[in-house]
Amino acid sequence: MWTIFTNNFGMFMEGLGYTLGASLLSLFFSLIIGTIFALLQINPSRTARIFGRIYVEFFRNVPLLVITMFFYVVIPRLGIPLSGFAAGSIGLTLYTSAFIAETVRAGIQSVDPGQMEAARSNGMTYVQAMRYIILPQAIKITVPPLGNQFINLVKNSSVLAFVAGFDLMYQGNLIASTTFETTTTYAIVGILYLIITLPMSYGMTYLDHRWSGRNTREEA
């Protein structure tokens, strides 16, 4: 096992790098897009809510691989060239953002409605109430389930292997098919994924324990 790892060290590390890169990019953008669609879904405007709902239901219910293939195969035909890495990262972002939208929406809706009423009665606009009162409380409730989404995101990044995205899974496939040491290679790939996801998992448990049931102090 060790020789397979050391002989192909460069490929494994390149794969790890692409996996981390795609994950971080998708994490960043899916968090922004997801929050926007969460806010749309609870917006007072009916049109905004319907639009938000359609987006979420679409990307949540279409397989990640289908979305990714669309960007890898269909979009380039329209004259916009996308690398496997780019197509994979876009697919991951859109897919994950739908789940994040649901998580953030649930977090916002679990904040006592009295908080919004108090803020509005206090003269704040809807946006001010969201920004200063509702979202800060929602974020704390949302952190543990968001952690799960991020772990899923890292694992789902293996979709890049299907579109030549140079990620860990892609490199693993290459190494397995050239060395024929399939068991060992995929075991190593699995361990490398665990090295990313396990610390995330423990980090989330830690934050959850620290925040559960009480509000920490923060500045206005």
Chain residues binding another protein by CB under 8 A are 112, 114-115, 117-125, 128, 132-133, 136-137, 214-215, 217-218, 220
Of 49 and 120, which CB lies nearer to another protein in the complex structure? Answer: 120
The residue (of 136 and 199) whose beta carbon lies closer to another protein is 136
Give Cβ neighbours of residue 152 (< 8 Å, ≥ 6 apart). 96, 99
Residue 35: alpha-carbon gap to chain centroid: 12
CA angle, residues 87, 173, 159, in degrees to nearest 5: 30
* Residue nearer to another protein on the CB measure, 45 or 183: 45
Shortest distance, position 30 Cβ to another protein, whole Å? 25
Question: Minimum distance from CB of 138 to another protein (Å)?
Answer: 10
133: which 2 tokens?
Answer: 């009162």
C-beta closer to another protein: residue 32 or 118:
118
Q: How far is the CB of 120 from another protein (least distance, A)?
A: 6
Nearer to another protein, 115 or 179 (CB): 115
**Closest distance to another protein from the beta carbon of 215 (Å):** 6
How many C-beta atoms surround the C-beta of residue 162 within 10 A? Answer: 19
Handedness of CA 80, 81, 84, 90 (dihedral sign): negative
Residue whose CB is less far from another protein, 98 or 119 = 119
Nearest to 111 by CA among 146, 140, 148: 140
* Length of the chain, in residues: 220
- Smallest distance from another protein to CB 146, Å: 18
Whole-number Å distance between alpha carbons of 26 and 97: 9
List of residues 6+ apart from 158 with CB closer than 8 A: 19, 167, 168, 169, 193
**Cβ 210 to another protein shortest distance, Å:** 15
Question: How many whole angstroms separate alpha carbon 210 and alpha carbon 208?
Answer: 5
